[in-house]
Amino acid sequence: MNNMQALTRPRKLTAGDRVVVVAPSGPVDKDLLDAGCEILSAWGLEVTLAPHVADQHERVAYLAGSDEARASDLQQAWCDPSVAAIFCARGGYGAQRMMDMVDWSAVAAAEPKVFAGFSDITALHEAFANCVGVATLHAPMVAVDSFVYDAATSEHLRRTLFEPESVLTLSSPTAQTIANGGGGPVAGVTVGGCVSLLTSELATPTGRPNLHGGILLLEQVGEKAYRLDRDLTHMLRTGWLDGVVGVVLGSWHDCEPMDDVVVERLGDLGVPIISRFGFGHGDSTQTMPLGVSVTLDPGAATLTLDTPALS
């Protein structure tokens, strides 16, 4: 079985680049959206809102417009050669409903560009990895509190976008190794996101069969310990975790304590597990590149990128 390969890295951003904000999942708070777009504009970016960002589904209030509209916004932005990056406005729920309405062959034929988001956007990260072969950013979204109100969060994303060579080593003051594995550093390719979305993607056309050679990044929000146990158990039973070489845990915001559950379920994999790495839901978060080659050092509790996240 072949190891997971690093994906094509989009180019880094420069002042003057045109970027588009999309809403693939839930409805967007206008005040937060405006504030987030002001931050992007202050970085020198030309910010455009996709046509349906402000929409709300006519029947179900938890969706930002119709599935067709959300899919169209994403595909049009990606296939527009004048666009350098796509930023998701927020998560919530809904990305999976529109996944099969996207023409992934057309998306794959277009020039790679930055794609950033997290939470429900995890499903789209998987699709861009498996259907397009492009590295993406598990990153704060434009219309969420952490991006708008936490300077460290927005600054880490800015550096990743414009100065990716300055963020080759990722860690957190709270990071700690909770399983040593073999004790030494391991090399692999980053994959992951929100646990429930990764589980929901199994056996779908946009999911992947296993994580052979992958370093799995996991986070979640508002979850019970037994539900995380169920997700991890399902991943194990399907064989999806076969060949994974390391695990890095981000935030468990508003969750029950999760570290013991992870070690109890995944400890037998014999791979290093680092906890409290500071990405995902919460008041502050760091940007984590997906689809890039890294070295996980359980001794130092760090992830070191082989190359910058963006080219």
Domain 18-166 has CATH 3.40.50.150: no
Q: Are 141 and 87 in contact (CB under 8 A)?
A: yes
Q: Which of 52, 146, 200, 219 is catalytic?
A: 219
State residue 119's pLDDT score.
97
Cα 189 to Cα 91, 259, 306: the distances in Å are: 24, 22, 10
Nearest partner of 130 among 84, 179, 184, 198, judged by Cα: 198
Segment holding 38, helix H or strand E: helix 30-42
Cα 191 to Cα 69, 126, 288: the distances in Å are: 28, 8, 10
Tens-place pLDDT, residues 138-184: 999 999 999 999 999 999 999 999 999 999 999 999 999 999 998 89
Query: What residue ranges of the chain are covered by domains with CATH 3.50.30.60?
Result: 169-305
Q: Name residues whose C-beta falls within 8 Å of residue 268's C-beta, 6 or more positions apart in sequence.
A: none
CATH of domain 169-305: 3.50.30.60
Active-site residue flag, 219: yes
Q: Which of 72, 119, 172, 251 is catalytic?
A: 119
Active-site residue flag, 293: no
State residue 302's pLDDT score.
97
Tens-place pLDDT, residues 240-297: 999 999 999 999 999 999 999 999 999 999 999 999 999 999 999 999 999 999 999 9
Query: What residue ranges of the chain are covered by domains with CATH 3.40.50.10740?
Result: 18-166
Determine the Cα–Cα distance for residues 56 and 63; give it in Å rounded to an integer.
Answer: 6
Helix, strand, coil tally for the chain in percent (to 5): 35, 25, 45
State residue 1's pLDDT score.
60
Q: Are 249 and 262 in contact (CB under 8 A)?
A: yes
Nearest partner of 27 among 89, 75, 76, 116, judged by Cα: 89
Q: Name residues whose C-beta falls within 8 Å of residue 54's C-beta, 6 or more positions apart in sequence.
A: 23, 28, 30
pLDDT averaged over the chain? 97
Active-site residue flag, 253: no
Share of the chain above pLDDT 90, in %: 98
Tens-place pLDDT, residues 7-60: 999 999 999 999 999 999 999 999 999 999 999 999 999 999 999 999 999 999
Predicted TM-score of the model (pTM): 0.97
Determine the Cα–Cα distance for residues 25 and 27; give it in Å rounded to an integer.
Answer: 7
Q: Are 143 and 28 in contact (CB under 8 A)?
A: yes
- Residues across the chain: 311
